[in-house]
Amino acid sequence: MPTFSGGANYEFNDNMSVYGRVNNGHSFDVFDDVRCQVYNGSNSCPSRVPMSSVQNYEGGFKVQNRWTYIDASVYDKEFQGLAYTPTDINRAPIGPTTTYGSTARGLRVVGSVNPFATSDNQPLSAFKDHG
């Protein structure tokens, strides 16, 4: 399956920018499933399910100076082909494997603050609070 990734970044100045990216991806077979099919050849191998995929959209804003660093972004991830097998309390399968999709949307903020960046005291000027 072909995949792609594309993105853009626009700098307002040396320490501030906005960005956006779009990409998709697919999962590969799990090693144990491939090994089972190649070497075992029996019906005890896990059943094949469609390849799972993800489509990702993300946009954000970054600012960094001597006192602060902030990377705030919003995202929308669309998953397809996720496998699910219903099981009982002992994890024994009680139904056929099915596939479903899922959506994850959210806001992510990563940052740090260095309120003493201009201090002449070296240990104090290196202090940062990460959030």
User: Does residue 127 carry a pLDDT above 70?
Assistant: no
Give all strands (DSSP E) within 1-131, no chain letters.
5-13, 16-26, 53-64, 68-84, 98-113, 129-130
* Cβ atoms of 41 and 72 closer than 8 Å: no
The sheet with strand 68-84 has its strands ordered as 5-13, 16-26, 53-64, 68-84, 98-113, 129-130
pLDDT at position 26: 80
Instruction: State mean pLDDT over 3-19.
Output: 95
pLDDT at position 121: 75
pLDDT at position 45: 56
Please write the tens of the pLDDT for every residue from 29-74: 665 555 555 444 455 555 555 668 889 999 999 999 988 899 999 9
pTM of the full structure: 0.66
Residue 19 has φ and ψ, to the nearest 5°, of -145, 160
Please write the tens of the pLDDT for every residue from 85-113: 888 999 888 988 888 888 999 999 999 88
| Domains of the chain by residue range | 5-130
* Cβ atoms of 18 and 10 closer than 8 Å: yes
